[in-house]
Amino acid sequence: MGDPRVPVKSPLVPVVWALGSAALAYLLMGETEMPVLEVGVWAILLAEASLVSLPASSGNRLSLAFAVSGALPFVLVSVDGTVDLAAAGAASAMGLLGTWMFRTLRSDPAEEVMAAVLRHGFGVAAYLVVFTGTVSLADSLSIPAGNVDWVRLTAFAVAASLWFLIETSLWASMVYGRNRLSRRYLWLLAAKDWAVVLSLLTTGALFGFAWGELGFWAIVIAGIPYGFAHLSFFRSQESRRTYGQTIRALSRIPEVAGLSPKGHSDRTSGMAMEVGQDLGMTPDEVTDLQYSALMHDIGRITLNEPSILKMGFTDEDIARWGAEIVAEAPYLSHVATLVRQQHQPYRRPGEERDLELPMASKIIKATSAYDHATMELGFSPLEALEVLHRGAAYDFDPDVVQAVRRVLERRGVVPA
């Protein structure tokens, strides 16, 4: 997945934003009973933490700043025990300003930094307000004083869920702004990060609860969920990468054996993924689509047998042989079904369209045909698209053809 980027219209935007948040922080500082020094320390911690990020499976980079912000309403409390909203707000505003400065100094891409800071700003504002709101709601319901910690835990759960929703929705719409992928796809992709967000926020809450009671040991305790998250997400990212590499390497075997055109499966799979994302498939479906597109020609390794070449074969046979090979790996049984059906027409003469046929198979059929037309028959993209349009009666699903057109327009190879 690519990095999330939103286009920034003018270089003045960050400057205006920085001045705004500094002014906001100044105003909020007037309201708080906290010493400026303490608020400042939290702001610096927040900015520092934003430099430590975990790669989430969606491609969104979630940083330790989530944990620090999550702890703010626990640690910044007034004398009477209520959340010092002004102090927490000021610390967040200054912290985000620092984040923006630090990350710009680290020469992260400007628009990415802005996007991250804006998302975090909205999210943390909602989190703080809802947290405080839930606590005061419980106060007005006159809950016994002994339960104050449980009220805070509930407030944390409610506010943190809301924050997660805001973060994922904003991330999805920001990425949508750049890539024009299906919103459903992006949102589901972002929602898969729940484990990372959960562990980061738990780190914050554990720290928040423990800070007052345990002092230094709170850092050790709070480090536990973060440590797990760190280990597991870096490791699983690495494993996912090798999994993809394995499939890609194996998909190239028919190509090096001279049995299928060079780079065909790679190009087909790249385009198929974009089409699938455009059509609003779920992230898991897109992954299956990617793998089956990579392996759609694996059946061709059978083609170096003289007997088979003598007998002749159809595309149907290639699909069947490929599916038989892929089906040997139990994890890929799903992919095998998609590979098997890759050459079915979406509709046969005189019949209704085949509703059983998976979308992924239809996408592979169309994108593979497009690659064949452009790379081997020497057609221009427009001519190749024309081939797909002409085949839309039976072979290629018109919805898929439309999506292919949109992808090509976005790539800029076909006029919009």
Partner 1 sequence: MHGAKRRKIQIGGVYALLGVVVLAALILLQKFPPLTLWLAFATAFAFLEWRSVEVNDRMLMSPTVMVALTAAVAFGPDTAALGVATMAALGAFSADDFRHRRWFQPIANFGQMVVTAGVSVYILEWFLKQAPKPETGNTFWVWIAAGSAVAATVYALINYTFVTVAVRTVFEKRDLRPWSNLGQLLPSYLLMGFVGGLLGATYTVLPVVLPLVFVVFIVGYLSFASYGHLREAHEATLRGFIKALEAKDLYTRGHTERVAFFAQLVGEEMGFNGTRLERLRWAALIHDVGKLAVPRDLIRKKGKLTEVEYEELQVHAHVVEEILAEVEFLRPMVEIASSHHSHYDGGGYGGVGHNHGEQPSPEACILAVADAFDAMTSTRSYRMALSQDYAFSELRRNSGSQFDPEVVEALVRALARTTERYGSPHLASEEEARRLAEGSQVISHG
Q: Least CB distance from residue 116 to partner 1, whole Å?
A: 23
* Beta bridge partners of residue 62, listed in sequence order: 54
Residue with tokens 């449980």: 150
The token pair at 128 is 């703080």
Start-to-end C-alpha separation, the chain: 25
List, in sequence order, the alpha helices (H) in 110-216.
110-140, 148-179, 183-191, 194-214
**What distances in angstroms separate CA 255 from CA 239, 252, 311, 349, one per listed residue?**
25, 5, 22, 34
Beta carbon of residue 341, minimum distance to partner 1 (angstroms, whole number): 19
DSSP secondary structure code for residue 347 in this structure:
B
Residue 249 interacts with partner 1 (CB under 8 A)?
yes
Binding span for partner 1 by CB under 8 A among 81-89, 162-170, 226-234, 381-389: 226-234
Assess 229 for contact with partner 1 (CB under 8 A).
Answer: yes
329 binds partner 1 (CB under 8 A): yes
Which of 149, 351 has the CB closer to partner 1? 149
- The only residue of 31, 305, 316, 383 in contact with partner 1, by rule CB under 8 A: 305
State how far the Cα of 237 lies from the Cα of 196, in Å rounded to an integer: 12
Residue from 325, 359, 387, 408 touching partner 1 (CB under 8 A): that is 325
Residue 324, interface with partner 1 (CB under 8 A)?
yes
Please pick, from the candidates 47, 247, 289, 294, the single residue that binds partner 1 as defined by CB under 8 A.
247
Q: Which residue's CB is nearer to partner 1, number 208 or number 276?
A: 208
Q: Does 328 bind partner 1 (CB under 8 A)?
A: yes
Tokens of 146: 């002994």
Position among 149, 351, 352, 356 found at the interface with partner 1 (CB under 8 A): 149
> What is the rounded distance in angstroms from the CA atom of residue 361 to the CA atom of residue 117?
40
Q: What is the largest CA-CA distance in the chain?
A: 89
Q: Which is nearer to partner 1, 8 or 250 (CB)?
A: 250
Q: C-beta of 297: minimal distance to partner 1 in Å?
A: 13
- Window 252 to 271, contacts with partner 1 (CB under 8 A): 252-254, 256-257
Tokens representing residue 77 in the block: 């409390």
Tell me the closest approach of the beta carbon of residue 321 to partner 1, in angstroms.
9
Among 103, 119, 120, 152, binds partner 1 (CB under 8 A): 152
Q: Which positions from 330 through 359 interact with partner 1, judged by CB under 8 A?
A: 330-332
- The phi, psi pair for 353, rounded to 5°, reads -70, 150
CB of 145 to partner 1, least distance (A): 14
User: For partner 1, how many residues bind (rule: CB under 8 A)?
Assistant: 58
**Between 183 and 222, how does the x/- string for binding to partner 1 read (CB under 8 A)?**
------------x--xx--x--xx--xx--xxxxx--xx-
Residue 201 Cβ, how far from partner 1 at the closest point, in Å? Answer: 9
Please identify which residue in the block is written with the tokens 């400057």. Answer: 15
Residue 336: CB atoms within 10 A of its CB come to: 20
Say whether 239 sits in a helix, a strand or coil: helix
Among 22, 41, 52, 224, binds partner 1 (CB under 8 A): 224
Q: CB burial class (10 A; 0-12, 13-18, 19+) of residue 407?
A: buried
The residue (of 32 and 199) whose beta carbon lies closer to partner 1 is 199
Residue 263 CA to residue 12 CA, distance in Å, equals 44
Angle between helix 398-411 and helix 359-375 axes, rounded to 10 deg:
50
Tokens matching residue 97: 């300003």
Question: Closest Cα partner for 374 from 263, 291, 252, 247?
Answer: 263
Residue (23 or 52) nearer to partner 1, CB? 52
Q: Please tell me the total number of residues recorded for the chain in this structure.
A: 416
- Residues interacting with partner 1, by CB under 8 A? 149-150, 152-153, 195, 198-199, 202, 205-206, 209-210, 213-217, 220-221, 224-225, 228-229, 231-232, 235-236, 239-243, 245-250, 252-254, 256-257, 298, 301-302, 304-306, 324-332
